Structure 1
Amino acid sequence: MSRLGFGLVLVFCLTPWASPPVALALGLGLAQTLGNPFPAFTKKYTAKLLQYSVIGLGFGMNAHSAVQAGRQGILFTICSIVGTLVLGYAAGRWLKLGRHVTHLISCGTAICGGSAIAAVGPVLRAKDEEMSVALATVFVLNAIALFAFPAIGHSLNLSQQQFGLWCAIAIHDTSSVVGAAAAYGKEALEVATTIKLARALWIIPVALGTAMVFKQQGVKVKLPWFILGFVGAMLLNTYVPATHAVGPWLVQAARMGLTVTLFFIGAGLSLQAIRSVGPKPFALGVLLWVVISSASLYVILHT
C-alpha cells in the first residue's frame, strides 16, 4: 500500500496541478501515515535532483538582472551570515549544547540549510547522529517556512524584490527558498534564487574557517559545483539566442524536478526523525530562525 501511495503522489507531482508546497505536504502526509517505502532512494536522489533543478532554472534568468539583485544583497548576506554564526555560538553555550551540533545548526541557518550541513559535517568529523539532528531541525523549519512565508509576504504587501530578498536571507534550504519564491511570483523567484546561490558560495570560506577553529587537518572542502552550472545556464540564456527555443522547456522540467524534490524531502521527515531532534537543538534552530527572519524583514521594510 505504501508503494502504491508513493507512486501515485510521485505521478501527481509531475502534473501541472502540483506545486512545491503541495508536494511537501503530500510527502509529510505519506511519511506520517503509510510511511516512506523507499527511504534510501529518496535520500540518495534528493540532493542530486535539487542541484539539476537549480541549474535548469538558470535557463529562465537574465544575467544582467541577476547581477543587480546580487549586488543589492551582498552586504545583507555578509552581515546575516556572520551575525547568525555568532548568535548560534552564544545560544548554543547558553543551551549547553555540544559544539558540533551547535555549529552545524548555525551553519545550516546562516548559509543554505542541508547543503551547508552536509559540507561542514565532514570537516568537523561530526557523528552521524549529530548530522541527523541538525538536518532534521533545518528540514522541519523549512517545511514551516515554505507555507508561512508567502502568506506573511502577502499580508505585509511585500514587493517581488522585497520578498525574494527576504526568502534568500531567512529560509534555510535552497529548495524551500525556490519553492516559496516561485509561489510568490517570477521576479521574486529570480531575486531569491540568485541571492541564495551567491549565499551558498559561503560554504567554502565557512568550511575552511571551521577546519581552522576546530583544528581539523587533512580535510577536503567540496565546491558546490551546481552553482557554477546555474551561472553557466543563465549566461547561455542571456547571450546565446539559440538556447531560447529550449529554455522554457528546461525551466518547466526544473520546476517539476523541484516539486518532486520537495515531495522526497517531506517523505523523509518521519515522526521518528522529527522526535529525534530533541528540545534543545530544536530550540536553537527556532531561536536563530526567528531572529534572522525578524531582523531581515525589519531591515527590508525600513530601507
Structure 2
Amino acid sequence: MDMEKAKFSLIRIRSIQQLLDRGLTIREILFWVAGLICLLPGMTAPLALVMGLLFANLLGTPYATARTKATDYLLQFAVVGLGFGIGAADALQAGKSGFAMTIIAICCTLALGLTLGKFLKIDRKTSLLVAVGTAICGGSAIAAVSPAIHARQHQISMALGAVFVLNSLALFLFPPIGKFLGLSAGEFGTWCAIAIHDTSSVVGAASQYGKEALHIATTVKLARALWIIPVTFVAAMTFGKGKGNIKIPYFIGFFILAVLANSYLPMANWMVTLIHQLSHTALCLSIFLIGCGLSKKLLLAGGLRVLGQASILWVIISGMTLLVIINF
C-alpha cells in the first residue's frame, strides 16, 4: 500500500512538473486575454458572443473539454445568482402566467417539428432532437434526450449545430424587435423565455431589455426547462425502447432555493449587488465560451435540411407566441 501511495505521489509530481514546463502558445495566451476582457464591467452578452465566434473561426479554440465543463458551471452559477434578485411571490406569478402558454408551445413545437422533419425527409431521431431543443431549452434538452433515445453522434451534432446558429441570431434579433413593437418588460421577458432555445441566450437577450424582463424571462424559462424530465421519459419510451439515461437539470433546484433565500432570509444590499455583478460576469464569460465552440465546421454540421427544419420551426413558434402575447 505504501509503495502504491509513493508511486501515485511520484506520478502526480511529474504531471505537475510537465504542466509547469509546458509553455503557453500564442493562441492560448490570446484566449486567456479575451476571457479576461469578458470580465470587464462594460461587457455585454452580444459582444461576448461575437468575440467567441471570431476567436473560434479565425484562430481556433483551445481547451475543448475544459471549456465545455466551464461553460456549464458558469451558466448554472449565473442563473442561480439571478435568483437572489427575484421574490418568491413574483416568481410564482411569472411562472403561473406563462404556464399555460409554455405547455401549448411545447406540444405544438414537438408536433410541428416532427411533421416538418418527416416532410423534409430527416431521420426521426435527428428531427426529434431539433424539435425538443426548440420546444424546451436548446442544447440542454438535446443533451438530456440524446442518450435516452440512443442517438448517434452525427445526429446530435446536426441538431446542436442548427440550434446554436439560431440561438446566436436570437441574441441579436429579439431586443430590437421587442423595442420596435413596443413590448413591455413583462411581454418581452415572456416572449424570450418561450421562443428562444438555450437559457444562455434567453438571459442574454432579456438582460438587454432591463431588470424586470430578465427576472420574468429567467423564471418562465426555468419553468419551461423542467419539462425536460417528462419529455425525456416519453422520448425514451417511444424512441429509445426503455428509459435510457436521463439527465436532470439540478441547478433549477438551486435557483428555487436562491429565490426563497432572497425572499425570506435577511440579506444585505451589498451582498445582493455583488451576487448580481458576479452573475452578469459569469453570463458574459459563459456566452464567450459558447461562441468559442461555434466553429465553422459545427455551424455547417446541421446541413441545409436540418437547419431548414430548425429555422422554419423557430420562426413559426416565435411568431405565434408573439401574436398571442400582443393580443392576449
TM range, smaller chain: over 0.9
Q: Residue 165 of structure 1 contacts residue 191 of structure 1 at CA under 8 Å; is this kept in 2? A: yes
Secondary structure, counterpart of 2:208 in structure 1: helix
Residue 154 of structure 2 corresponds to residue 129 of structure 1 = yes
The residue aligned with 2:37 is 12
Residue 181 of structure 2 corresponds to residue 156 of structure 1 = yes
Structure 1 residue 123, shift from structure 2 partner: 0.2
Q: Residue 237 of structure 1 contacts residue 243 of structure 1 at CA under 8 Å; is this kept in 2? A: no
Q: Residue 161 of structure 1 contacts residue 187 of structure 1 at CA under 8 Å; is this kept in 2? A: yes
Given candidates 160, 166, 181, the residue that maps to 1:141 is 166
The residue aligned with 1:255 is 280
Secondary structure, counterpart of 2:136 in structure 1: helix
Q: Residue 106 of structure 2 contacts residue 135 of structure 2 at CA under 8 Å; is this kept in 1? A: yes
Cα distance between partner residues in 2 of 1:265 and 1:134: 16
The residue aligned with 1:278 is 303
Given candidates 73, 90, 93, the residue that maps to 1:48 is 73
Work out the percentage of aligned pairs sharing the same amino acid.
47
Structure 1 ranges of 4+ moved more than 4 A: none
Q: Residue 165 of structure 1 contacts residue 192 of structure 1 at CA under 8 Å; is this kept in 2? A: yes
TM-score of the two chains, using structure 2 as the length reference: 0.90
Structure 2: any 5+ residue segments left out of the alignment?
1-25
Cα distance between partner residues in 2 of 1:266 and 1:171: 16
Aligned residue identity for 2:208: A
Given candidates 314, 317, 322, the residue that maps to 1:292 is 317
Q: Residue 237 of structure 1 contacts residue 244 of structure 1 at CA under 8 Å; is this kept in 2? A: no
Secondary structure, counterpart of 1:184 in structure 2: coil
Cα distance between partner residues in 2 of 1:235 and 1:86: 36
Cα distance between partner residues in 1 of 2:228 and 2:53: 28
Q: Residue 49 of structure 1 contacts residue 257 of structure 1 at CA under 8 Å; is this kept in 2? A: yes
Aligned residue identity for 1:139: F
Alpha-carbon deviations, 1:19-55, whole Å to 9, x = none? 1111001000111111112222212221222112111
Residue 145 of structure 2 corresponds to residue 120 of structure 1 = yes
Q: Residue 174 of structure 2 contacts residue 205 of structure 2 at CA under 8 Å; is this kept in 1? A: yes
Secondary structure, counterpart of 1:246 in structure 2: helix
Cα distance between partner residues in 2 of 1:246 and 1:210: 42
Q: Residue 146 of structure 1 contacts residue 176 of structure 1 at CA under 8 Å; is this kept in 2? A: yes
Cα distance between partner residues in 2 of 1:76 and 1:113: 18
Aligned residue identity for 2:316: V
Q: Residue 125 of structure 2 contacts residue 239 of structure 2 at CA under 8 Å; is this kept in 1? A: no
The residue aligned with 2:211 is 186
Cα distance between partner residues in 2 of 1:179 and 1:218: 33
Given candidates 94, 102, 124, the residue that maps to 1:99 is 124
User: Pairwise CA RMSD of aligned residues?
Assistant: 1.1
Structure 1 stretch displaced more, 272-281 or 160-169? 272-281
Residue 92 of structure 2 corresponds to residue 67 of structure 1 = yes
Structure 1 stretch displaced more, 46-55 or 279-288? 46-55
Structure 1 residue 243, shift from structure 2 partner: 5.8
Cα distance between partner residues in 1 of 2:286 and 2:153: 23
Report matched runs for 1:30-45 at 5 Å.
Answer: 30-45=55-70
Cα distance between partner residues in 2 of 1:125 and 1:215: 6
TM-score of the two chains, using structure 1 as the length reference: 0.97
Structure 1 residue 182, shift from structure 2 partner: 0.5
Structure 1 residue 244, shift from structure 2 partner: 4.7
Given candidates 244, 265, 290, the residue that maps to 1:240 is 265
Cα distance between partner residues in 2 of 1:243 and 1:195: 27
Given candidates 191, 201, 211, the residue that maps to 2:226 is 201
Structure 1 stretch displaced more, 245-254 or 261-270? 245-254
Aligned residue identity for 1:9: A
The residue aligned with 1:266 is 291
